[in-house]
Amino acid sequence: MTALDILIMAAGKGTRMKSRVPKVLQRLAGRPLLHHVLDQAAHLNARSAIVITGHGATEVEAATPIPASAGAGFDLKFVRQEPQLGTGHAVQQAVPHLRDDGTVVVLSGDVPLTRPDTLRALVDASGGGRLALLTVTLPDPTGYGRILRGADGAVQGIVEHKDATEAQRAIAEVYSGIMAVPARLLRGWLARLTNDNAQGEYYLTDIVAMAVADGVPVAAHCIQDAVQVAGVNSPAQLAELERACQLRQAQALMEQGVRLADPARFDLRGELVCAQDVEIDVGCIFTGRVALGEGVRIGAYCCISNATIAAGAVIHPFTHIDGEKLGASVGEGALIGPFARLRPGAQLGREVHIGNFVEVKNSTLADGAKANHLAYLGDATVGERVNYGAGSITANYDGANKHRTVIEADVHVGSNCVLVAPVTIGAGATVGGGSTITKNVEPGALGVARGRQVSIGNWKRPSKT
């Protein structure tokens, strides 16, 4: 099998984006456009990828790691196009890094949604000896290079929109900017490019006429799905592709059996792994890596990032779970929310209940523990079947250091309590409502720390003067 070397055009400024961020670093589904294109190279099992940078080159190169899916054999290089003198000039910069035994696949850093099977078909059309072009028929081809065919239907060349005649501009089949070509042939054609055209640039598309003149077959692999070759030149186009990308991901999940209440109101900006019979309501956003166990139900407008949610758990609406680097986990049958917040290091056991306006950070809650209302648990270890009262908090920070609170099994913490860490509440103990606990409470004991109630008879409120 012929080795594949990928060239990715990423030198453009993207003026119409009206952004200081280079165009190829604009985000789609939570990731830079260029990273999506590098994933395509990885899916092709490419030998190497050469990213041609220009505008914002330092920023683009610093923000472009090798995709994890590529493996150790993926060779990533950068070359710079300075100044930018056209697509042909861009590819010329990569010539010193090309090996004659390979097929070169030219991609665009702002065209993120080309499917791997489409690119494989394009490579097959090249076959190691032909120039293969990825084309698409558009209802409005304005701005694209038109495919010129002879009377026999064979491709004769590409004419750029600005250089096309009125008759040529009526052609609906356009060049997508993606091609596959043997490196040994590409090298010679690039050396023959000139800038004798309306824009004074070196067009990569001029190699098509050269191939025809040299008797090299030119194959056009035509697709009907315009989204696969759609580029990003403006915020509006980026938004259109975002919805197309999200719909594609939603359809893939539904094909696996996931129940989405409305695929048009679903956002995945990372990796989502779902077991059987998962249900996701509208307006949910998933980022990082999220795993949902069998029968998990996610309520409307939840934001979930870097978390594992076990079978049978229910995440009620408007819950925010963000595990960041530490991760967060929810045990089987747990009930979370609505309006709950789980922060990094939240580890919840089976059938734990976390209710409305409860925040959990870097804490472990054992099976059956409950914090149902208006509470904070930070840097805490909570035992089985603990009932943690409304309005109670762990005071885990002394102004310089974090300290841990230990609440052992079967403890009952009353409402509006402050547990000042480091402190341990022994198994089976009770903390009276309104207490500020600064010392350990023995197992089975009642801990109360509050001022004695005083009633003053015949007391009159102050009156205004």
Query: For 57-92, what is each residue's pLDDT tens digit?
Result: 899 999 987 654 444 457 899 999 988 889 999 999
Looking at residue 70, what is its pLDDT?
46
Domain residues of the chain, as ranges?
3-229, 258-447
Alpha carbons 84 and 102: distance in angstroms, whole number: 26
Name the average pLDDT for the chain: 94
Selecting among 43, 320, 373, 412, the annotated active-site residue is 373
At 311, which amino acid appears?
A
Of 85-89, 102-106, 364-368, where does mean pLDDT reach its minimum? Answer: 85-89
Which residues are bridge partners to 257 per DSSP?
none
What is the H or E stretch that residue 423 is in?
strand 423-425
Alpha carbons 129 and 13: distance in angstroms, whole number: 34
Mean pLDDT of 106-122: 96
Other residues' Cβ atoms within 10 Å of the Cβ of residue 38: 29
Q: Which fold has domain 258-447?
A: UDP N-Acetylglucosamine Acyltransferase; domain 1 (2.160.10)
The answer for 444, left when phi > 0, alpha when psi is -120 to 50, beta otherwise, is left
**Is 55 tagged catalytic?**
no
Q: Which residues contact 167 (CB under 8 A, 6 or more apart)?
A: none
Computed on alpha carbons and rounded to an integer, the radius of gyration of the chain in Å comes to 31
User: Residues 122, 130: contact at Cβ < 8 Å?
Assistant: no
Strands 387-388 and 370-378: parallel
What is the H or E stretch that residue 106 is in?
strand 102-108
Say yes or no: do domains 3-229 and 258-447 share a fold.
Answer: no
Six-digit token pair at 39?
């994933």
User: Residues 447, 425: contact at Cβ < 8 Å?
Assistant: yes
Which residues are bridge partners to 3 per DSSP?
102
Nearest to 231 by CA among 282, 178, 272: 178
Mean pLDDT of 104-118: 96
Q: Which residues contact 275 (CB under 8 A, 6 or more apart)?
A: 292, 293, 294, 295, 296, 311
* Residue range 161-182, pLDDT digits in tens: 888 999 999 999 999 999 999 9
Q: Which fold has domain 3-229?
A: Spore Coat Polysaccharide Biosynthesis Protein SpsA; Chain A (3.90.550)
- Asked if the model's pLDDT at residue 264 lies above 70, the reply is yes
